[in-house]
Structures are given as structure tokens and as C-alpha cells.
Chain A
Amino acid sequence: MIKADLRDTFGEFLVKLGKKNYNVVVLDSDLSYSTRTNKFAKKFPSRFFNMGIAEQNTLGTALGFAISGKIPIVSGFSIFTTGRAWEFIRFACHDNLNVKIITTHSGFVGGDGSTHNALEDLSLMSSLPNLIILIPTDNIELIKMLEFTFDTKNPFYIRLPRGYFPKIHDEDYEFLIGQPDILKDGDDICLIGTGYGTLLALESTPDIEKELKISIKIINLSSVKPINNKTLIKEIKKTSGVVTIEEHNIYCGFGSILARIISENYPMPMKFIGINESFGQSGNREKLLNFYGLNKNKITEQIRNLLLSRKR
């Protein structure tokens, strides 16, 4: 299976973009090697600004660039950028400025541990009006997403993970903002994932289908905000329950957003897979995901619960 580090895809995209669009400027807070903005920095030193370990000023400077007609891209680790500089991001959204916040190290970061994990960033970002929030599943989707991002004058938050991810889309994949991306059809239960959640759903489904003798539908929802409610409901309607999967805290995260949409428009039983009331810890990524419940057994268990509640 071909695997790619999405950070590399991001870094290379920036270089291509920089060649085409002279208004693009990149800002980083002393993490340019980890975020891969160093590639842009090397190619376009006059349009790269290392703002030091000062996320608030990095974002504030981006606001100034944006009102001056530039297209600032702010990168850094997800938790620091969204956490430390939240109010500056709020102002970018408040004034609907063309600021692109594209961070890496979302979810579990590995050895750096609980202080560096970003398991709360979606909660912080999803209450901001005007902000478009995207989470790619593979490098093909990321490229399409980035093309959309730079064709659209709007504040964006794109959350990239750290590590290698398999390619699940074909080259001709079309990214459509707000639309569910149907990866597999099925009649009984619908798994809706975002980012790594989608990968886990894909990986686990064949075994679960065999074990529980059911047919599972898989939806990749890389557009966390906005979401096209109508198409989403249309897609899940024929199944009898939904399980959401996210590499994020389940409180005020991806699953919570879907719970609101579904309960309001087409109430049906739901279960949520994600990190529950924890900051995580240090460790190998696979181990962490497994320990905090992002694994096949947990999905199976939640589907069983859903099937039981349906019988009741």
C-alpha cells in the first residue's frame, strides 16, 4: 500500500502555490521543519516569516497581511496554534479574513505526549462563524482540499496528522465542500469518519461485516464545517444507526456536530468513537490509538450496542 506523510504533501503544495501566486506568504512559529513549511522558506525566503515561538503574534501578523491583500498561511502544531492564538483566530473569522490556518500534529503526536496532543482543537474551532474546517484522509484528498482552499476567499482551518497515511482515493477524486464522500455502500449501519477515523472504518469493516453478518456503509466526512445536512441525511437514512469515529475528544468534537445535525433532522441511534475525557500520553501512535478506543473491537462493540438498541 502506498503511504504518504501528509505534511510532505502540504510542504510540496506550498512550493507549487508559491510559484503561481505571489500574494501567498507563509508564517510559522519556529516549527517549520516539523510542519514542512521549511520547503517554502527555502524557495521563497522573502515570503516566509518565522515569527518565533509566539503563536499570538504569528496570527496577529497574519491578520495584518490579510487586510493588506496577501494570502497568509499560518502553520504550527495544532494544539499551540488553535489554543494559544484562539482569540486572534476568532478575529480572523469575525472579519472574515482570507487567513489559512494549516496545522500539523493533530490528534496523537507520539512520544511528545499529552501536553502536545491536539484532541480539543475541533471544539475550539467549530464554534467560530465563517470558518471552514477540513480534515484530509489521504494525500490525494489533501491536494484537492488545498486547491479548493486557495480558490476560496475565506478563513480556513485544516488539521493535518503526523505520520504516514495510506492512499484511499483515486487521482480523479473530486473534493466537494460539505459533501459526504461515500467510500462503501451498506444497508445496516453507517460509519462516519473524519481523518484517521475514516481509515479505521475502512480497515475494520470487512472483519466486522463477517463477524456480525451485517452490511456497513462508510462515509468519509472531511468537511467538518460546513456540512450539507440534506445530503448527509439522505445518505444515512436507509441504515438503522450511525457510529462516528474521530481522533479527537468526543466532547464537542466531530461526533457531537453530527449528533446535532442528525437529531435535529432525522433522529436515529448513534454511538461515538473517540478519545473520552483524556489528554492521552506518550507512546507509539498505534498503541495510543488502540488504548484510547480507536480500534476495531471498539467499533464492533458499539455496533453491537446499536443493533441491540434497534431490537428494543
Chain B
Amino acid sequence: MTLSVAEEKRILLDILEIKKDVLKMIFQAQSGHPGGSLSCANIIYLLYNNIMKINREDPQWNKRDIFILSKGHAAPALYAVLSKLGFIKREKLFTLRQFGSDLQGHPVKNPKLGIEISTGSLGMGLSIGVGCALAAKLDNNDRMIYVLLGDGELNEGSIWEAVMAGNHYKLDNLIAIIDRNGIQNDGSTEEIMALEPLAEKWKAFGWEVIETDGSNLREIIQGFERCKNILGRPKVIISYLIKGAEVSFMQHTQKYHGRAPNEEEFTLALKELENIEKNIKRGIIYND
């Protein structure tokens, strides 16, 4: 699948809309994880918009591909994408983290809204994906299972148990995506608990490894397309993304991993995103 310039422009604008919603939600709640939500918002949107088999009329359609947000703290990004699809009403977004809201700080299973399972305690999503992939094979359901992992959560031992199982059962319907933004709660991933050489680790465990520049739409889409054609083993896309992407002062820092922007920061962040929006509308695309 190749993207026309017009399509690319529309997608970029959609992603900016989603990012603005993410910031508004977290600002309103005055708590949440902007850094890791902004980093992967584009991946989640591209999955739902361009890659996954879904039914926009029915989030519970039984042939749908499955998405599991293992890095559950990026919930605002997931909610904003599901709202863009029409599964979650937009006004509901701004009840994030509030008493009585369906949209808790981390995703809680709600098939009607398109949330497949609760996540948020890190290191659990890939195992769940293994179960979904095995079940799909048993049922001859040709659905794909996508699991979005944070790089920090690869510290968890249970992830590597699931990595072993994915290879053992040759789950070619299982695709893991690593948000390789390099920063976790307390600092850089290499400082806290070194992950590198990461690609080699996954290769040694029997997975097909694809590395992509996560800021490049075409490359992300090509990565997913390549995955579909590789049979007989599970696949992982190590997506080099930017923590806090597209808000200059939130980028490459742990400062906004788990902290909401204050009013001044929020206004500034929105302004930056709006400027990018204006430029895209004028035809200036940062991609490539």
C-alpha cells in the first residue's frame, strides 16, 4: 500500500488532532502520562486506520484484528484513537481519570468501546497476545494480533516468557511493536536496565525483527506490510519513536513521563501542535 500525498496529509492532521486531544485530556485530569502517549499515538492510529481489519460500525465484530495496549499508561492515546473511529464519544474523552468514568487512568476492558482487555500493570500484554494468537489458530480465524509494548516494560521477565512462547508456537499471527523511545520512568532505558542489543535479543529468541523510523508514516506502514508476508514465526517491529513527540519541550525527557502539563505548558504545547498543523495544511510535511 502506498500513500498518496493527500492521504498522508490527512493522516498527519488526524494524528495531530489525536495528540491535541491527548494533551487536553491529561491537562484536564491533571494527571497522566503525556510522554509515552505522544510517542506512540501515530502507531496506534496507523494500526487502526490503515493496517488492522476492523469494522467501524461494530467494535466487537468477530473477525476483527486484536490490538492490545500492553503499555497501558498510553491509555489517552488509545482512547483518542477509538474516539476518532467513533467507538468512544468525543465528549467522554474529557472524563479521563474522573470518578465514575469508563476511561480510567489505564484501560479497563470494555468491548463496546473497543477496549479488548485491561492493561496497565506492565509486562502482561504479550502473554495475552500469545493466548489470542493461539486461539485464532485453533479457530482458523485469520485475524492478526497486535501488541504495543513500551521499551521500559521489557524489563519484566514475563515479557521474555511470552517471547519464548511466541517462537515455540510459531505464532506468525502475532506482531509485537516496541515503542523504542529510550526513556522510562526514572531515566534512559540504558541507564536504568540496559536493553541493547535489543534487536539481537529478539532475533536470538526466534522472532523476525523489523526496525523502523517511527516518525516516518511510510516506513511504519511498510513495516506492517512486510510483517504480513512473513510466515512461520512471530514478528516484532522495533519502532524508534520520540518520547513526547512533536511537543518540543516534552521530547526526549522523562520529565513528562507521568506528569501532566500545567496551564502554561499546556497552552504552549497546543500552540506548537497547531503550528505544525498550519504548516502541514500549507503543504510542508516533515516526514522523510
A-to-B contact residues, CB < 8 Å: 25, 46-47, 49, 51-52, 54, 56-57, 59-70, 72, 87-88, 91, 94-95
> 1/0 contact trace for B109-120 toward A, CB 8 Å?
100000011100
In the complex, which residues 114-131 of chain B have their Cβ closer than 8 Å to any Cβ of chain A?
Answer: 116-118, 121, 124, 126-131
In the A-B complex, list the 4 residue pairs whose CB atoms are closest, starting with the nearest. A64-B131, A60-B127, A68-B135, A57-B161
Interface residues of B (CB under 8 A from A): 66, 108-109, 116-118, 121, 124, 126-136, 138-139, 157-158, 161-162, 164-165, 168-169
The 25 sampled A-B contact pairs (Cβ below 8 Å) are A25-B135, A49-B169, A52-B161, A54-B158, A56-B157, A57-B161, A57-B164, A57-B165, A60-B130, A61-B128, A61-B165, A64-B127, A65-B135, A67-B128, A68-B135, A68-B136, A69-B135, A70-B138, A72-B131, A87-B121, A87-B124, A88-B127, A88-B158, A91-B117, A91-B121
Given the known interface contacts A64-B131, A64-B132, the answer about A54 and B161 at a Cβ–Cβ threshold of 8 Å is: yes
- Give min CB distance, A246 to chain B, whole Å: 30
How far apart sit A125 and B116, CA to CA, in the bound complex (Å)?
24
What is the bound-complex CA distance between A57 and B163, given in angstroms? 9
Q: Complex formed: what's the CA distance from A95 to B109 in Å? A: 6
B127 lies within 8 A of A67 (CB):
no
| Residues on B with beta carbons closer than 8 Å to the beta carbon of A95 | 108-109, 117-118
Chain B residues, Cβ within 8 Å of A87: 121, 124
Chain B, residue nearest A53 (CB): B161
- Hey, which chain B residues are within 8 Å of A56, CB to CB? 127, 157-158, 161
Q: Which residues of B contact A59 (CB under 8 A)?
A: 127
Q: Which of B66, B117, B134, B157 contacts A61 (CB 8 A)?
A: B134
Question: What are the residues of chain A within 8 A of B118 when measuring CB–CB?
Answer: 91, 94-95
Cα separation A52 to B164 with both chains bound (whole Å) = 10
Nearest CB on A from B8, distance (A): 34
Contact of A67 among B117, B138, B157, B164 (CB under 8 A): B117
Report whether A64 and B133 are in contact in the complex, using a CB–CB cutoff of 8 Å: yes
Q: How many angstroms from the CA of A53 to the CA of B117 in the assembled complex?
A: 25
- Shortest CB distance A270–B (Å): 37
The answer on a CB contact under 8 Å between A62 and B164 is no
